[in-house]
Structure 1
Amino acid sequence: LVVSMKTDEVFKNHKTTTLRADIKKAGARIVDVSQNLRFSFSDARNLYSILRREKPDIVHTFLPYAGTIGRVVARLARVPRVVSTQGNIRVAYDFRGYWMDRITLPLAHVWTAAAESIELEYGGSVESFSEKLWRGGRRHFTIPAGVDCETIQNAISSVDRTKKRVELGIRENDVMILMTARLVSWKGHDELIDAAALLPERVHVCFAGWGERMEGLRKRARGLGIESRIHFLGARDDVYELLGASDIYAQVFSRTREGRMWMGPNTALMEGAAAGVPIVATHVPLIERLIEDGVSGKLANVNDPQSLAAGISWIIEHPSAAKEMARKAKELVRQRYSLSAMRRAYADLYTALFSGHSATIT
């Protein structure tokens, strides 16, 4: 049973797909509790009624709003086991939402992080799930959001690279750099635009993503005289095809005024690596779990467009070495960040939750 707590505004404002069709195809039921975008006591009452009626063995919550309400209500409804998955770091959330989520997190019997950066911020250390750690009393783990390597590879194999680039206004001999990320301040769009100004005219940057900063970023590109080489693609449901048309994938993070920043690989970076595209990323803590400078990609200093431009130039000038680094990054994704690895980890976690009980995990 999948309980939807609220509708994401993103899917109201953009023509893109959601998980609803996939969930139904998998045979799960979906119940919409409400369409509220703020906390509602009616949501809590409705969820309590559902849980008392359905009597689930496990309630697994995702994201701050559903996590906060879900953990409290699941405990009140006497659900045997409560699991929470933390999906982002503090910089991504408003003050109230973050602290409501954090204060109620101890109500979960165990919580997981969708990336190493998240477990480090919420739990102070990073560990993958293991039976040994579980028996030792650890109750938070990193289980990365799994990347569907086969689907990515199939999409890339079937894409018409030339046609896709023509659609984007990019010639075959141009260099196409792709970055997928929301247009928010702690993603390094500014640095990548500034780096593009230092690179040859045949280098184009494509931003797949939406956000309130689009006009400000357009203005930045115009001010540097490179507006024709910076492409804002908006929300997309063809990211894998875009990866197949790209020459370089860039994942750039910025340090905020408060000194906060993302740490380690995120899902977008994992997908870029799974596609076999040469990677340039910023050298944030934990990033070397996937991208090691000169081994599986190129790393640039944080908030440093010159360093970023240098990394991109190196990849352009050393295509054979870049291809080999991309191969290594792709293999690391298959080993550590694949969808099958995520499934195994959650199956082990659910089984551990009912160790010594009669429940059967399917």
Structure 2
Amino acid sequence: MKKIAFITASPMTVKAFLLPFIKEIEKSYEIHVISNWHGDEDFLPANVKMIRIQIQREPSIFDDLVSLIKLVGILKVEKYDIVHTFTPKAGFIGQIAAWLSRVELRFHTFTGQVWATQTGFKRFLLKSLDKLTASFTTSVLVDSPSQQSFLIKNKIVTAVKSGVLGKGSISGVNLSKFQFSQEKRDNIRAELQLKDGEFVFLYAGRLKKDKGIPELLSAYRNVAKKVSAVLVIVGADEDGLLSEVNHTDGVIFCGFTDDIVAYFSAADLLCLPSHREGFGNVVIEAAACGLPTLASLIYGLSDAIVDNETGVLHQVEDAADIEEKMLNLCQNKELLKRMSERALKRVHSEFSERLIVDEFIKFYEHEQSRLSQ
């Protein structure tokens, strides 16, 4: 039985995105998952081996070198047939380690570029690290066609060496989990003490400046002067933005939730004014619940949304454009309903978890077949 090592800096990446793949192939492969395990995770199948190694998210030459040495030791002992890395730091260290250990098949999945919105030396450095990561792989997966084009244009990957699973996304959407619930809608709206007919804008994700939170708040403040609407924010504050959130009338901050479906069901429009996204899985998860999205016109999101059909795209970092489109959508219920129906139909036909998992298996089979030729 062939052996696969999945390597990622965060166990949450495994839980959120890799489980469907692991559960599908665990009977055909011996699977090890190398990550910063804390010891209390229990979501992996029983026969999947967990290997703990410290991989820092932030740059640290000494710590990264220690991680690299330890990883090379593990890979040489285990003798994997495939090493597949996720997240930037794990990709960089993992691919070097796999190359040094002479692993035959080395895959990395790109899920967005931090450097896309950076300038100067920091952009050059981070871009160079991504380019090095790609150079050590045998093949690269990218989670959206437009991101693949962006990486090719920036000479990080080549068209021959890179690919996308289906129409995009990391692992698709679990359609049995993500679906509209009238009961959850009623419960959340009652819990938040919303008025009948009050329009609900929703932001779901980390609170960061490069997620567009400042311009979303600015746009919402003007919209709220003209219509009865609230902005519900679900997620953890990572950039110290909570003070501005709490001082904006009509904004309801709910923090992190384990039941995002309840909020998708309760909302009328998802807002994602991000400055950079590899794909934007939250968009298709919301779509599976019949919730259309207003989002930035950037690579990744332009694949997750068909503009003016399954959602609306606005100019990036443009509060005035966000405001205009928020106002238009909340005043045009028929348009919103059509977008909801089209978004739901599209996610079922193009982004189901089953479809993306099948594409993942085809990719593995193709790469192994190509190696044996």
Gaps of 5+ in 1: 11-16, 126-132, 254-260
Among candidates 192, 202, 214, match of residue 178 of structure 1: 202
Among candidates 232, 245, 262, match of residue 253 of structure 2: 232
How far 1:139 sits from its partner (Å)?
A: 1.0
Among candidates 39, 43, 48, match of residue 28 of structure 1: 48
Is the 2:280–2:300 Cα contact (8 Å) retained in structure 1? Answer: no
Partners of 1:296 and 1:81 in 2: CA distance: 38
Structure-2 change in CA distance of 1:190 and 1:40 (3 Å): closer
Q: Which consecutive aligned stretches of 4+ in structure 1 deviate over 6 angstroms post-superposition? A: none
Among candidates 322, 326, 336, match of residue 308 of structure 1: 322
How far 1:82 sits from its partner (Å)?
A: 0.3
Among candidates 63, 69, 77, match of residue 93 of structure 2: 69
Kindly report which structure 2 residues correspond to 1:49-68, keeping only aligned pairs within 5 A, or say none: 49-68=73-92
SS of alignment partner, residue 150 of structure 1: coil
Q: Which residue of 2 aligns with 1:298?
A: 312
Among candidates 134, 138, 149, match of residue 160 of structure 2: 138
Amino acid of the structure 2 residue aligned with 1:213: D
Kindly report which structure 2 residues correspond to 1:73-222, keeping only aligned pairs within 5 A, or say none: 73-89=97-113, 90-91=115-116, 96-124=125-153, 138-143=160-165, 144-154=169-179, 156-157=180-181, 159-200=183-224, 202-215=228-241, 218-219=243-244, 222=247
How far 1:297 sits from its partner (Å)?
A: 2.1
Structure-2 change in CA distance of 1:163 and 1:305 (3 Å): same
Structure-2 change in CA distance of 1:139 and 1:19 (3 Å): farther
- TM (norm. structure 1) is 0.79
Q: Which residue of 1 aligns with 2:35?
A: none
Amino acid of the structure 2 residue aligned with 1:281: A
* C-alpha RMSD of the superposition: 3.3
Partners of 1:278 and 1:104 in 2: CA distance: 35
Is the 2:107–2:139 Cα contact (8 Å) retained in structure 1? Answer: yes
Is the 1:117–1:263 Cα contact (8 Å) retained in structure 2? Answer: no
How far 1:177 sits from its partner (Å)?
A: 0.9
Give identity over the alignment, percent. 20
Partners of 2:39 and 2:324 in 1: CA distance: 38
Partners of 1:278 and 1:85 in 2: CA distance: 27
Structure-2 change in CA distance of 1:317 and 1:178 (3 Å): same
Structure-2 change in CA distance of 1:248 and 1:212 (3 Å): same
Gaps of 5+ in 2: 14-37
- TM (norm. structure 2) is 0.77
Partners of 1:187 and 1:210 in 2: CA distance: 12
Structure-2 change in CA distance of 1:97 and 1:290 (3 Å): closer
SS of alignment partner, residue 24 of structure 1: coil
